[in-house]
A and B are shown apart, each in its own frame.
Chain A
Amino acid sequence: MSNITTHEPQSDSAIFLHGVGVLYRIPHDPIKTFKEYVIRAVQGRIKHHSFWALKDIHLDLKRGEIFGIIGRNGAGKSTLLKVISRVLIPTEGRVWIKGNVSPLLQLGAGFHPELTGFENIYLNASILGFSQKEIDEKVEEIIDFSEIGDFINVPLRTYSSGMRARLGFAVATAWKPDILLLDEVLAVGDVAFKDKCIDRMNLFRDQGSTVLVVSHSVDNIKETCHRAMWLDEGQIRLVGPAEEVGNAYQKDMKTRRQGKMRVNR
């Protein structure tokens, strides 16, 4: 229940973060040109105003665990997901990840409008790190799942946004990930397709994937997650059973709201 973790990942760990911090440096007045930069560097006038988007994050996530992250806007939730998906190398601390990470953050990454759906499956899947051979094995299944039908051989620019999203989702979830990152609730296509998506998520979970959920819906987190983390201004406010953390967060939000109302009055 405490957020002090060991210094080494354990044998059943999936994600292990130790003392992770992300420092953004923002120049006081933004330097946009090279000339300005050189002049100021010579004068020693480059001053930065920096802030920690994340600070002292310790986390030891076990394999198969479903873990929720809650917090207000700008609390560092997305930054944390970026660190875990290796997009952002943290300024300090250690990141240890076991297995492949599937970030369901951006569906259809790298889709190209001039290529056909079929060609885009190969492009998108190779961006996700799969080899030609692996894609060959799954391509039929992806087409089936996406319900694109004959449109698969037509340039993507003719697709509706729902079709694109379905194709993106089908590619992203064709392989069972070891670690699944979910940002917000997936809004993909119609209700029937949404159910199919949720089924697939549940299947991964049952097959032992580690799932990390970021959501604004605290009730959702309390329902689906084992444990949760409450992030506040880049720091861990609380880690523990999802129910407990969710309740504490909701209580805090309530008092904040009341405080605000009193001020307004």
Chain B
Amino acid sequence: MSELNIYDSAKRKHPAIEELTALFKYRDLIYQLVRRDLIARYKRSVLGVAWTMLNPLGIMIVMTIVFSQVFSRVESYPAYLITGLICWNMFTQSTSFAINSMVWGNKLLEQIYLPNTSFVVSTILSNMINFVLSLIPLFLIMFVTQVPVRWTVVLIPLAMILIGAFSLGFGLLISTLAVFFPDVAELYPVILRAWLYLTPIIVPVDILNNILNGWILRLNPMYYIIDVFRQLIYYGTIPSLTQWLIAIFAAFGTLVIGWIFFCNKSDKFAYYV
């Protein structure tokens, strides 16, 4: 009987710490939620998991047809495009799902105690798995467009972790806002669209570099992170130490801020959702 857990609201730790320990205790739940996401997403479509690979391929082909004339000076544009695109997909899908899971998706938090971050964290993780799978079409395109694969690709897991961390942090921030202001959920796709064109994904870097003396890039955390990823794969170079540090700072800074913001507000979620 003495091993019973005691919950005492008078002896609570800082919410951000408390949430971390709670999430660790519920790690099997995270596994189950990721599994559910993956199974549910693919079970009823004929091609199943193949869609993870076909989707960026399809978009890449459409975009290449549309933009390759405009941006013809970019060397092997399809490869340039798809490196940015799979990072962007990872970011937008996971953060949009994060909003849905907090606002509409889960009435669960109103009914049963769960670590509040469970849904956002599991969403990011299942999208990370899709992200890994989308490397297959990426290498396919590189092979077809004859972009050499250099040894630097062994470092891409690091860049992918940065994208995951940034997505998690930003997902926590935006979904907290969306709980209190439902408008945010409506506005977010518009913001994403603008952000897409202001980040070197479709548009070549040098064009964006000419806008506002380059400040449009300098203030964009997504630029640094995608740049690291693209250097490793597309250019086959190692980013400089400064570039690494800025990207790490942008990703994990966002994660820490998002985590603390979310946890500080999460006590009030039940009053709003």
Measured CA separation A74–B112 after assembly (Å): 20
Q: Is the CB of B108 within 8 A of A127?
A: yes
Q: Known: A87-B110, A89-B267, A110-B108. Contact between A99 and B29, CB under 8 A?
A: no
Q: Which residues of A contact B110 (CB under 8 A)?
A: 82, 87
Q: Is the CB of A86 within 8 A of B4?
A: no
Q: How far is the CB of B128 from chain A (nearest CB, A)?
A: 20
User: Which stretch of B5-13, B164-172, B224-232, B244-252 is in the interface?
Assistant: B5-13
Judge whether B58 is part of the interface by a CB distance below 8 angstroms. no
User: Which stretch of A114-122, A223-231, A238-246, A248-256 is in the interface?
Assistant: A114-122
Q: Known: A99-B5, A109-B108. Contact between A122 and B32, CB under 8 A?
A: yes
Q: Which residues of B contact A127 (CB under 8 A)?
A: 29, 32, 108, 112, 114
Residues of A101-153 contacting chain B, CB below 8 A: 101, 103, 105-106, 109-110, 112, 114-115, 119, 122-123, 126-132
Judge whether B271 is part of the interface by a CB distance below 8 angstroms. yes
Q: How far is the CB of A57 from chain B (nearest CB, A)?
A: 13
Q: Is the CB of B112 within 8 A of A119?
A: no
Of all chain B residues, which has the CB nearest A93?
Answer: B9
Q: Which residues of A contact B270 (CB under 8 A)?
A: 82, 87-89
Measured CA separation A86–B111 after assembly (Å): 9
Is chain B's interface secondary structure helix, strand, loop, or mixed overall?
Answer: helix
Measured CA separation A103–B112 after assembly (Å): 7
Measured CA separation A128–B111 after assembly (Å): 11
Q: Is the CB of B9 within 8 A of A90?
A: yes
Judge whether A24 is part of the interface by a CB distance below 8 angstroms. yes
Q: How far is the CB of A21 from chain B (nearest CB, A)?
A: 12
Q: Which residues of A contact B182 (CB under 8 A)?
A: 32
Q: Which residues of B contact A126 (CB under 8 A)?
A: 26, 28-29, 31-32
Measured CA separation A112–B25 after assembly (Å): 23
Q: Is the CB of B9 within 8 A of A96?
A: yes
Judge whether A94 is part of the interface by a CB distance below 8 angstroms. yes
Q: Known: A98-B6, A126-B32, A127-B29. Contact between A33 and B183, CB under 8 A?
A: yes
Q: Which residues of A contact B8 (CB under 8 A)?
A: 94-97
Residues of A158-176 contacting chain B, CB below 8 A: none
Measured CA separation A25–B268 after assembly (Å): 11
Q: Which residues of B contact A89 (CB under 8 A)?
A: 9, 267-268, 270
Q: Is the CB of A96 within 8 A of B7?
A: yes
Other-chain contact of A109, B4, B111, B268, B271 (Cβ < 8 Å): B111
Interface size on A, residues (CB 8 A): 43
Judge whether B260 is part of the interface by a CB distance below 8 angstroms. no
Q: Is the CB of B267 within 8 A of A129?
A: no
Residues of B1-53 contacting chain A, CB below 8 A: 4-10, 25-26, 28-29, 31-33, 35-36, 39-40, 43-44
Measured CA separation A129–B270 after assembly (Å): 19
Of all chain A residues, which has the CB nearest B1?
Answer: A63
Other-chain contact of A103, B4, B6, B111, B267 (Cβ < 8 Å): B111
Measured CA separation A70–B29 after assembly (Å): 34
Residues of B215-243 contacting chain A, CB below 8 A: none
Measured CA separation A114–B32 after assembly (Å): 14
Q: How far is the CB of A41 from chain B (nearest CB, A)?
A: 12
Measured CA separation A155–B44 after assembly (Å): 11
Measured CA separation A204–B56 after assembly (Å): 54
Q: Known: A103-B111, A128-B112. Contact between A112 and B36, CB under 8 A?
A: yes
Judge whether A178 is part of the interface by a CB distance below 8 angstroms. yes
Q: How far is the CB of B51 from chain A (nearest CB, A)?
A: 15
Q: Is the CB of B113 within 8 A of A85?
A: yes
Q: Which residues of B contact A24 (CB under 8 A)?
A: 271
Residues of A63-100 contacting chain B, CB below 8 A: 82, 85-90, 93-100
- Residue in A86, A110, A123, A155 with the greatest tally of chain B CB atoms within 10 Å: A110
Q: A87-B112, A99-B5, A129-B25 are in contact. List 18 more A-B contacts (CB 8 A).
A: A25-B271, A32-B183, A33-B181, A86-B113, A87-B270, A88-B271, A89-B268, A95-B9, A98-B6, A100-B4, A103-B112, A106-B112, A122-B32, A123-B36, A126-B26, A127-B112, A127-B114, A178-B4
- 4 smallest CB-CB distances across A and B, nearest first, come from A86-B113, A126-B29, A106-B111, A95-B9
